[in-house]
């Protein structure tokens, strides 16, 4: 159903309908302003090993003690235990979670819109106090709610009951409504209530136990389960990445992400398992950088001792590398081993688990966690974790077999002997780079930088301004922020970040500033591509009006001023209470800040395979789309608004886009130039007139009107479009 306009007030922004295209090349995964990593839970351990299986039952039932000293933190999922470092909340342990049983019986109302949120949070508060009694809790708090998903379109198959019951609820409440209206109302009410339950529960947890890391098990999910497909690549379907972007409210409420990777025995040792796991971790890392937090959310990957379809068939050495090893190399904060009661259902099973821990699994965990420490100590001064330079490369954080020996003490502990060679350290620096912890920066995390917290950032639009690869906030939008929609698109090893400024409906749109470059819609490239240049892989940049970088390079069309590049920003470090530049604005030296800012204004304004994949994507998909949409905006402006304004949706929340009709136009690249052949039909113009109106430039007059007759010339497109505004979109 049509949304309600946000109100009569409207803030006209000079560049409010531009688009910022910011590429995060996962090849380097360390662009100039990457958010820092959150400090590890345990000391300076860059890759944490956590245990979350009911192994205590082996002691209770068979008097068989199994050591978990191998793990940095641990906890049993059994309800009899409280005060553990790893606490998992199943549906019956946290508030009044609404769901339907397999028999279709409603529990706690069945639907989130049918259950009292207030009553749920009241009970959840008591449950948190029971299972995590210490207010100083500094572990993992994982909520496992899997009966329904908060997005309507993701409740398929068995979860479709939540859509069916939601429709029935609306049908009983209203008369004389169409099926489409029922569908829309049911969707809106379900999603609003689901969001309130999940977001409210996380906020309750983070308030009650603020030092713990809170998140939902299996979130984010890449939905790359089609492992049986021919030529399976493991990439997250683009639609699923877009849906994950729509869950920004969830990532903003979380303090950690807990994706899961359960692999099947039928694909044992297969490259498919690697592709499956790799892309799930990369998707989590992508989303971890999108939030309003000043650091990237830590990713803890849930995995298992055995295969999904055979719990007691334990992972092979190769599949341990595909799961745990891949997670470490990509930059995850750690992993959690989960298991169910099958592990302890018999004395024999307990004995097999102990043997696996004392040998194959224990040796591998010891190997990869120590290797991560060695790399962190050598490359990052123990102030950051090592991350692959090329995320698709086959480089792992493993101790060299020629330099190290790992000895099992047969009691769950291990002894490491040996020392690394200079050649091995050199290989680390060639294959990995540092992702610095909060408070540190530089190629080797050698520089100390006071950290910011969520309190400084207010969890608002400005918080993303310090991150390239999440959102570049150049203009603060004061109105209608609740209507903004965020879209990120992932393809191959590269990440396209598309941030679209929102539009607000009103009876008459106010004028807007004259467009840059005399174009209604322009695109600027703003991301570091030096690595591809070094690898001599040419990227087709012809469709961009300007090519810029967030690096400290002067005389660019687009210049980003980060906190350390403009003036003297006064603030107080909330952790140390150290005051910088006066601590608070009223104590800061404005003249000194402006003098420094003036100098800075004058200064700044006077893997080969991954690059190849990016180049292919640009030439095959991105550039043609850029040409399409920017040509369409020009045509609509010229024909509907007489060139005196830009076309704007009549309904801000519609699914209408300014695209060239493929039946009327053809885009080709000839002699290095993109050319658009064709002209809009009367049907095309009528569709635009029905769905779009005109927003006039400055004092120009324009009325959305279909021209009585027109002839439009063939046009060449070169460096056509520009991007200049990134608004933080909720």
Tens digits of residue pLDDT in 461-508: 333 333 333 333 332 223 333 323 333 333 333 334 343 333 334 456
pLDDT of residue 727: 27
Lowest mean pLDDT among 33-47, 216-230, 466-480: 466-480
Residue 527 · residue 29 · CB < 8 Å: no
What per-residue confidence (pLDDT) applies to 26?
A: 42
pLDDT at 276: 98
Question: Which of 292 and 519 is assigned the larger pLDDT?
Answer: 292
297: exposed, middle or buried (Cβ count in 10 Å: 0-12, 13-18, 19+):
buried
Q: Which residues pair with 74 in a beta bridge?
A: 51
The pLDDT of residue 148: 98
pLDDT of residue 609: 62
Average the pLDDT over each of 72-81, 452-461, 665-674 and give the range with the smallest value: 452-461
Least confident piece of the model among 68-72, 410-414, 474-478? 474-478
> pLDDT class for 295, splitting at 50, 70, 90?
very high
- The CA distance from 331 to 29, in Å, is 10
Strands, E, within 392-534: which ranges?
Answer: 404-408, 414-418, 432-436, 440-441, 447-448, 486-491, 494-500, 523-526
Ranked by mean pLDDT, the top range of 77-81, 212-216, 461-465 is 212-216
pTM for the whole thing? Answer: 0.63
145-154 confidence digits (pLDDT tens): 999 999 999 9
- To the query of whether residue 146 is one of the catalytic residues in this protein, the response is yes
pLDDT band, very low/low/confident/very high, at 389 (cuts 50, 70, 90): very high
Residues 643, 645, 647, 651: what is their CA dihedral angle, to the nearest 10 degrees?
A: -160
Lowest mean pLDDT among 362-376, 404-418, 532-546: 532-546
pLDDT band at 709 (very low <50, low <70, confident <90, very high): low
DSSP letters along 332-399, please? -SEEEEE--GGGGSSHHHHHHHHHHHHTHHHHHHHHHHHHHHHHHHHHHTTSEEEEESSTTS------
* pLDDT band per the 50, 70, 90 thresholds, residue 535: low
Confidence of residue 551 (pLDDT cuts 50, 70, 90): low
CA nearest neighbour of 721 among 61, 18, 1? 18
**What local confidence, expressed as pLDDT, does residue 604 receive?**
45
* Confidence at residue 390, expressed as pLDDT on a 0 to 100 scale: 95
The residue among 562 and 167 whose pLDDT is bigger is 167
Q: Which of 412-426, 441-455, 501-515, 637-651 has the lowest mean pLDDT?
A: 501-515
Of the candidates 265, 269, 272, 257, the one whose C-alpha atom is nearest the C-alpha of residue 333 is: 257
For residue 204, pLDDT over 80 is answered with: yes
Q: Which residue has the higher pLDDT, 258 or 691?
A: 258
Longest dimension (CA), the chain: 90
Is the pLDDT confidence value at 605 over 90? no
- Residue 50: DSSP 8-state: E
Q: Per-residue pLDDT tens for 18-35? A: 333 433 344 433 344 589
Lowest-confidence region among 86-100, 426-440, 454-468, 610-624: 454-468
Share of the chain above pLDDT 70, in %: 76
Residue 729: per-residue pLDDT = 25
Least confident of 27-31, 105-109, 400-404, 516-520: 27-31
SS3 for 515? coil
Identify the pLDDT of residue 717.
42
Structure tokens at 57: 């039952």
Q: Which of 295, 728, 287 is nearest to 473 (CA)?
A: 728
Give the dihedral sign, CA 53/210/70/270: positive
d(CA 332, CA 70): 19
Look at 350 and 566; give whichever has higher pLDDT: 350
How far is residue 582 from each of residues 294, 588, 596, measured CA to CA in Å? 21, 5, 15
The one-character DSSP state at 174 is -
Least confident of 93-102, 257-266, 325-334, 444-453: 444-453
What is the chain's mean pLDDT, rounded? 81
Q: Which residues contact 643 (CB under 8 A, 6 or more apart)?
A: 637
Least confident of 176-185, 364-373, 508-517: 508-517
- Of the pLDDT bands very low, low, confident and very high (cuts 50, 70, 90), residue 685 is confident
pLDDT tens profile 581-603? 777 787 767 777 777 666 655 55
Please say whether the beta carbons of 214 and 94 come within 8 A.
no
**Sign for the pseudo-dihedral over CA of 21, 25, 31, 36:** positive
Catalytic residue among 31, 118, 146, 168: 146
């Amino acid at each position: 159903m049509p949304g309600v306009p946000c109100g009569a007030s409207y803030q006209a922004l000079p560049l409010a309908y531009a688009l910022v295209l910011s590429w995060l090349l996962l090849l380097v995964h360390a662009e100039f302003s990457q958010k820092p990593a959150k400090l590890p839970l345990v000391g300076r351990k860059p890759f944490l090993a956590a245990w979350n299986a009911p192994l205590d039952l082996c002691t209770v039932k068979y008097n068989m003690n199994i050591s978990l000293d191998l793990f940095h933190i641990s906890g049993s999922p059994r309800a009899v235990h409280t005060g553990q470092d790893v606490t998992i909340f199943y549906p019956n342990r946290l508030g009044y979670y609404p769901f339907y049983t397999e028999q279709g019986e409603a529990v706690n109302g069945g639907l989130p819109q049918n259950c009292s949120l207030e009553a749920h949070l009241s009970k959840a508060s008591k449950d948190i106090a029971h299972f995590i009694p210490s207010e100083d809790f500094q572990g993992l708090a994982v909520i496992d709610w899997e009966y329904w998903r908060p997005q309507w379109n993701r409740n398929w198959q068995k979860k479709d009951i939540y859509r069916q019951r939601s429709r029935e609820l609306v049908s009983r409440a209203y008369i004389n409504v169409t099926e489409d209206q029922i569908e829309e109302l049911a969707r809106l009410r379900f999603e609003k209530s689901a969001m309130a339950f999940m977001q409210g529960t996380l906020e309750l947890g983070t308030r009650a136990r603020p030092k713990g890391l809170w998140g939902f098990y299996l979130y984010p999910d890449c939905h790359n389960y089609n492992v049986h497909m021919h030529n399976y690549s493991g990439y997250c379907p683009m639609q699923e990445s877009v849906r994950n972007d729509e869950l920004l409210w969830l990532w903003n409420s979380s303090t950690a992400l807990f994706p899961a990777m359960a692999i099947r025995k039928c694909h044992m040792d297969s490259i498919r398992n690697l592709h499956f796991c790799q892309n799930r971790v990369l998707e989590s890392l992508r989303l971890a950088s999108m939030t309003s937090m000043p650091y990237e959310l830590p990713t803890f990957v849930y995995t298992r001792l055995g295969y999904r379809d055979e719990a007691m068939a334990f992972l092979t050495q190769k599949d341990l590398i595909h799961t745990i090893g891949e997670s470490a190399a990509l930059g995850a904060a750690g992993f959690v081993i989960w298991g169910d009661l099958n592990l302890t259902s018999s004395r024999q099973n307990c004995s097999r688990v102990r043997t696996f821990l004392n040998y194959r699994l224990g040796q591998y965990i010891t190997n990869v966690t120590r290797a991560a420490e060695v790399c962190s100590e050598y490359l990052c001064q123990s102030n950051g974790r090592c991350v692959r330079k090329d995320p698709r490369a086959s480089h792992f954080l493993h101790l060299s077999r020629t330099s190290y020996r790992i000895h099992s003490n047969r009691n769950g502990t291990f002894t490491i002997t040996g020392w690394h060679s200079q050649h091995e350290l050199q290989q680390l620096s060639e294959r990995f780079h540092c992702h610095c912890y909060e408070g540190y920066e530089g190629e080797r995390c050698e520089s100390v930088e006071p950290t910011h917290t969520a309190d400084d950032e207010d969890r608002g639009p400005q918080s993303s301004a310090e991150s390239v690869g999440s959102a570049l906030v150049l203009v603060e939008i004061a109105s209608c922020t609740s209507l903004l929609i965020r879209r990120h698109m992932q393809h191959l090893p590269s990440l396209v970040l598309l941030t679209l400024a929102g539009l607000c409906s009103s009876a008459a749109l106010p004028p807007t500033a004259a467009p840059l470059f005399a174009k209604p819609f322009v695109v600027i490239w703003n991301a570091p591509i030096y690595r591809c240049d070094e690898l001599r892989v040419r990227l087709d940049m012809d469709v961009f009006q300007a090519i810029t970088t967030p690096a400290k390079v002067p005389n660019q069309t687009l210049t980003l001023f980060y906190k350390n590049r403009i003036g003297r920003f006064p603030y107080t470090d909330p952790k140390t209470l150290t005051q910088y530049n006066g601590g608070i604005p009223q104590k800061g030296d404005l003249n000194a800040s402006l003098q420094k800012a003036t100098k800075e204004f004058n200064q700044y304004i006077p893997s080969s395979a991954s690059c190849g994949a990016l180049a292919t994507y640009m030439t095959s998909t991105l550039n043609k789309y850029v040409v399409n949409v920017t040509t369409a905006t020009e045509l609509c402006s010229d024909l509907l608004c007489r060139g005196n304004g830009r076309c704007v949706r009549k309904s801000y929340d519609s699914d209408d886009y300014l695209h060239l009709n493929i039946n009327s136009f053809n885009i080709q690249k000839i002699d290095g130039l993109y050319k658009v052949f064709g002209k809009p039909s009367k049907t095309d113009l009528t569709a635009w007139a029905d769905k779009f109106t005109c927003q006039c430039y400055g004092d120009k007059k324009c009325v959305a009107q279909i021209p009585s007759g027109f002839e439009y010339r063939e046009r060449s497109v070169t460096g056509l479009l520009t991007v200049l505004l990134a608004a933080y979109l909720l």
